[in-house]
Amino acid sequence: MRHVSPAMSDATTPATAAPAPVSMDNLVALAKRRGFIFQSSEIYGGFNGFFDYGPLGAELKKNIRDCWWADMVQRRDDVVGIETSIIMHPKVWEASGHVAGFSDPLVDCKVSKQRYRADQLFFSPVVITGADGVAQTVGYVSALESENTAGELQTAAESFKRKKAIQGTLSPVVAKDLTEAREEEIALIPSPATGEPGSLTAPRAFNMMFQTNVGAMTDGSSVAYLRPETAQGMFVDFKNVVDTGRVKLPFGIAQIGKSFRNEITPRNFIFRSREFEQMEMEYFIHEDADWSKVHEEWIAWCEAWLKSIGLPDSHLSRYAHPKQKLAFYSRGTVDIMFKYPFGVQELWGIAARGSYDLTQHANASGKPQEVFDEATKKKFVPHVIEPAVGVDRIFLAVLCAGYAEEAVTDEKGNTETRTVLRLSPRIAPVKVAVLPLLKNKEVLVARAQALYKKLQRRYAVFYDETAAIGRRYRRQDEIGTPWCVTIDFDTIEKPGDTFTLRDRDTMQQRRVTEAELFALLEEQVY
């Protein structure tokens, strides 16, 4: 009998050249092709700002949630988890300040009917110095926020000067966003939609909460809101948890759930959407505690957690909000930023919110939100540190960080391109693919099926007996499966009952026993 070694069928050497930058188009195409993410209501043309997660996406998303819950709640003695309702009493949102102030600055283009977020629409005066040495503003240019906003404004200014045939030296552009525009400037700034000035409105506050009506009446008395954050659930239930949960300061209350924001400009795939999922934790501390120390500890915890699910250090950075831009109650906010293909953007916000939220709810409800300090025999309102992150943003970050198209060379010297998703085994949607070398050899199939069924009790595994082994490996590379196990003739004929274990990243193969395979999974999938 001629035995085909699976090693012969797989390209073996990943190229060492630096990986090409990830293209969002390719990533979105992979997400669709392999069933990670679809547009919501796609058969009706899609629905802007809403997405569906397909079979692999749902699995990956669940793994992100499960890892966070395990590390944030189950493996800590000082954090408990809750699940609160999405629609809460409307007074919650009045007390929290969302009804009055949860808004983005909106600008309309009266001609095109396009709407923009004023803080994402940039402009600059076009300033030209003539032969007489006098600098004059001769017009305005605008550009939507991008990786290279200043560059785009500069190009637009040069084109403006050329088209108007204005002589003189062009000054470098000074980019400002539309919230900084003076009233008399608004009429002179061109709309990005039409390229012409005169159609943009002055920015106005646009409340991002989705309204609904609860009950049979649809008048003002029945107005309620879909929650724009999960956090308020933790504040409103603070006393319930204290009274029932045997918790003592410092402690945290965590929750994972959907939030809804009527974003003016949902964009960058799932980065900013109108329905998304948050994982938030409110960490309550003594009013006299060193909040900045606790704040720093949580920032470090969040960074370490992101690395534990596979995000590389090189893509992470911190952004401390300038003091003058903080909300009046906030003592400090640091965002963990991620280098997405479309720029460095907020991934996880860690805010020190003082006692603002509990105090607001105490005042609005008339129910004190205090705890008793045994040492001082005094009651006080705890302060809070809040790490708040979006599941979908983490999802996008792990796809971006893991995606690679690389040249691989087999032992015959043939080179091909493979697409690979380097997802951490912790979150990969499929942990192991079980592949009988040949589908028409009953002994191989039977052994593969037995292993598959055993693995399936504990892990998400995939069984595939179709196509050549090399193609099967490629399919698994593309969906981020860390290991493939091939049941070949050595498994059946040689002592030891070993399989070929093929590593997604190195493409190296080695023989392992069932016990070794389970030990590897036990160590890496936690």
Nearest approach in angstroms of CB 391 to ligand GAP is 8
Nearest approach in angstroms of CB 274 to ligand GAP is 7
248 near 285, Cβ under 8 Å?
no
378 near 183, Cβ under 8 Å?
no
106 near 116, Cβ under 8 Å?
yes
State yes or no: residue 346 binds ligand GAP (CB under 6 A). Answer: yes
Among 104, 229, 464, 490, binds ligand GAP (CB under 6 A): 229
87 near 214, Cβ under 8 Å?
yes
State yes or no: residue 61 binds ligand GAP (CB under 6 A). Answer: no
Residue holding tokens 């250090």?
313
Q: Which residue stretch of 308-316, 320-328, 345-353, 374-382 sits at the interface with ligand GAP (rule: CB under 6 A)?
A: 345-353
Among 235, 276, 452, 473, binds ligand GAP (CB under 6 A): 276
The one-letter amino acid code at 206 reads F
Q: Which residues, 280 to 339, sit near ligand GAP by CB under 6 A?
A: 280
Among 68, 122, 123, 348, binds ligand GAP (CB under 6 A): 348
Helices then strands, each counted (H, E), the chain? 15, 28
Crossing angle of helices 391-402 and 24-33, in 10° steps, is 110
State yes or no: residue 278 binds ligand GAP (CB under 6 A). Answer: yes
Q: Which residue stretch of 101-109, 185-193, 210-218, 270-278 sits at the interface with ligand GAP (rule: CB under 6 A)?
A: 270-278
| CA dihedral for 422, 425, 428, 430, sign (positive or negative) | positive
Give CA–CA dist 486/4, Å, rounded: 12
Nearest approach in angstroms of CB 230 to ligand GAP is 7
Instruction: For strands 316-320 and 332-340, give the pairing.
Output: antiparallel
C-beta of 295 vs 393, nearer to ligand GAP: 393
C-beta of 93 vs 483, nearer to ligand GAP: 93
The one-letter amino acid code at 499 reads F
Q: Which residues, 390 to 429, sit near ligand GAP by CB under 6 A?
A: 390, 392-393
Give CA–CA dist 48/272, Å, rounded: 11
Nearest approach in angstroms of CB 100 to ligand GAP is 16
State yes or no: residue 177 binds ligand GAP (CB under 6 A). Answer: no
State yes or no: residue 263 binds ligand GAP (CB under 6 A). Answer: yes
Q: Which residue stretch of 284-292, 337-345, 387-395, 419-427 sits at the interface with ligand GAP (rule: CB under 6 A)?
A: 387-395
C-beta of 280 vs 370, nearer to ligand GAP: 280
Report how many residues bind ligand GAP under the rule CB under 6 A: 19
Among 273, 424, 481, 491, binds ligand GAP (CB under 6 A): 273
18 Cβ partners below 8 Å, 6+ apart?
A: none
Residue from 285, 314, 316, 284 nearest 299 by CA? 316
- At 337 the three-state DSSP class reads strand
State yes or no: residue 226 binds ligand GAP (CB under 6 A). Answer: no
316-320 sheet: strands from edge to edge:
79-81, 251-260, 275-285, 383-390, 343-354, 332-340, 316-320
Nearest approach in angstroms of CB 270 to ligand GAP is 7
State yes or no: residue 389 binds ligand GAP (CB under 6 A). Answer: yes
Site residues (vs ligand GAP, CB under 6 A): 229, 231, 261, 263, 272-273, 276, 278, 280, 346-349, 386, 388-390, 392-393
